[in-house]
Amino acid sequence: MPLTMPEEILLLMLDDETGRLQERAAPSGDFAIAGAVLAELALAGRIDTDPARLYVVNPAPTGDALQDRALAQIAAATETQDSRHWIETLAADADDYREALFARLVSKGILKRVEGRFLWVFPERRYPVISDKEEREVKARIMGVLFNDEIPDPRDSMLIGLCRAGGLFSLLLSSAELDRVQPRIDAVADLEELNRSLADAIREIYAQIARYAPMV
């Protein structure tokens, strides 16, 4: 069964050997996962956006528990909100979303769950990779789009936009490679109106977080 976009984002954030989320993926990765849930709802024809609002066009469940949880939340809102509001709202439950996504990837035989101790004291749960086939396929699909001039499908355009907004390309490419393909990333990411809306919301939120982050 194909991976969902939130599952793909989570795999890209994961250190394959340690089974831990890479530090550089936080906190923007949580917003990227939230954006990926919304992107899947958009591709399923359940929501749409314009510059000022994100709204439900079809409240019928998708059959995906995480997507349907978000869809129900949006449908139940008493006032229409924009993409930024919903990314912030979903990202506030990032721990729940991540654990549910990890459980899915474990059930699919892609990851394994390991209980242990961090610094021999603190309880820790890690998710080392069992099969890297799916992650390699995701990366190959992304690189295939970035290193050729073909027009990608909307799903890949959204995925690339979310990776850009979440700063995840620094985990996938060297600095020189990223400089080389940045114009292509921008061109692909901006193909979809929804993608621009979600990605702009994620970038704005991350910029605000970075502004108040302590200097180290």
Q: Are 165 and 83 in contact (CB under 8 A)?
A: no
Q: Helix or strand or coil: residue 49?
A: strand
How is residue 111 written in tokens? Answer: 């990851």
What backbone phi and psi angles, to 5 degrees, belong to 124? -145, 140
pLDDT, tens digit, 9 for 90 and up, residues 190-203: 887 777 777 777 77
pLDDT, tens digit, 9 for 90 and up, residues 95-153: 999 999 999 999 999 998 887 666 555 566 777 888 888 989 999 999 999 998 888 88
Give domain 5-94+130-212's CATH architecture: Orthogonal Bundle (1.10)
The DSSP secondary structure of 176-211, one letter per residue, reads HHHHHHHHHHHHHHTT-HHHHHHHHHHHHHHHHHHH
The pTM of the full predicted model, rounded to 2 decimals, is 0.86
- Measured between alpha carbons, how far is 198 from 45 in angstroms, rounded to an integer? 16
How is residue 4 written in tokens? Answer: 């969902």
pLDDT confidence tier of residue 215, bands split at 50, 70 and 90: very low
Average pLDDT across the chain, whole number: 85
Tell me the CB-side half-sphere exposure of residue 179, using CA atoms within 13 A: 3
